[in-house]
Amino acid sequence: MVQSSAADVDTYLAEVPEERRAALVRLRELCRTELSGFTEAMAYGMPAYERDGRGEFAFACQKQYISLYLTRTDVREAFADRLAGHDMGKGCLRFRRPEQIDFVLVRDLLRAVAARPGEIC
C-alpha cells in the first residue's frame, strides 16, 4: 500500500488488503487499550498515537511489511534484548506476514510508551 490519503483510521483500515486487515485492527485495539490519554490521528499517511501533540507510536501497511514505528529511543533501548532478531530499522519494527506479529511484545512496548513521556528520536 502506498502512503494513504485517508482522513481517519477507519478509512485507512478499510483500504488495507483483506489478508492484513485483522492484524491491523488488532494493533489498533491494542493501541487504544494501552495508550490511554493518547490521541489517535493520521500522520504521514498512517495511524499514529500522540501525546501532547507528539507522535510516539504508529503503524502502517507497507508493500512488503506491516511496520510499527516506535519513536521513543528509551523504549527501544529498554527492549533491545526482546527486539534482537526482529527486522528492525532505526525506529521501525517490520513484520513480513501478519501471523509473525508478536502481539505480546507489541503490548509490552505500548505499555512502556504509555508509562511516561520520553524523548522522541
Task: Please check whether residue 66 lies inside any domain of the structure.
Answer: yes
Residue carrying C-alpha cell 507522535: 55
State pTM to two decimals: 0.92
| Domain extent for 70 | 9-115
One pLDDT digit (tens) per residue for the chain, 121 residues: 557 888 999 999 999 999 999 999 999 999 999 999 999 999 999 999 999 999 999 999 999 999 999 999 999 999 999 999 999 988 899 999 999 999 999 999 999 999 988 878 7
Task: Please check whether residue 2 lies inside any domain of the structure.
Answer: no
Task: Please check whether residue 19 lies inside any domain of the structure.
Answer: yes
CATH number for the domain spanning 62: value is 3.90.1150.200
Task: Please check whether residue 57 lies inside any domain of the structure.
Answer: yes
Task: Please check whether residue 1 lies inside any domain of the structure.
Answer: no
Total domain count for the chain?
A: 1
Task: Please check whether residue 121 lies inside any domain of the structure.
Answer: no
* pLDDT for the residue numbered 4: 84
Task: Please check whether residue 120 lies inside any domain of the structure.
Answer: no
Point out which residues pair with 41 in neighbouring strands: 48
